[in-house]
Amino acid sequence: MMEQARIAISREEAARLLNVSDKTLKKVMEQDETFPAFRLTPGKTIIPLDGLREWAKEKGRARAGIPPIPKTIRAVRASRRKEQIS
């Protein structure tokens, strides 16, 4: 019989997929209400794989947690690159 693909994973598995510690992911889940997770039983958090992928894509698109570089700093860096090439 062919095994069906999993549709959900544990918090520990999600942490490994995201390359963060379980402790870090637990904090994210407590602070970010958009994180896709639910509980069926006490102590067992379920994370749908499709939801995790979409959540990660949205965070990436929004560049969450990464401050924009001010125009002045970008101009200085571009100027330095030009100097190095010359």
* 11-38 pLDDT, tens digit each: 999 999 999 999 999 999 999 999 999 9
The two tokens of residue 80 are 């330095």
Average per-residue pLDDT for the chain: 91
Taking the complete model, does pTM exceed 0.75, yes or no? no
The two tokens of residue 72 are 């002045």
Question: Predicted confidence band at 63 (pLDDT cuts at 50, 70, 90)?
Answer: confident
Return the CATH fold of 8-85: Arc Repressor Mutant, subunit A (1.10.10)
The b-or-e profile of 30-51 (16+ CB within 10 A means b, else e) is eeeeebbbeeeeeeebbbbbeb
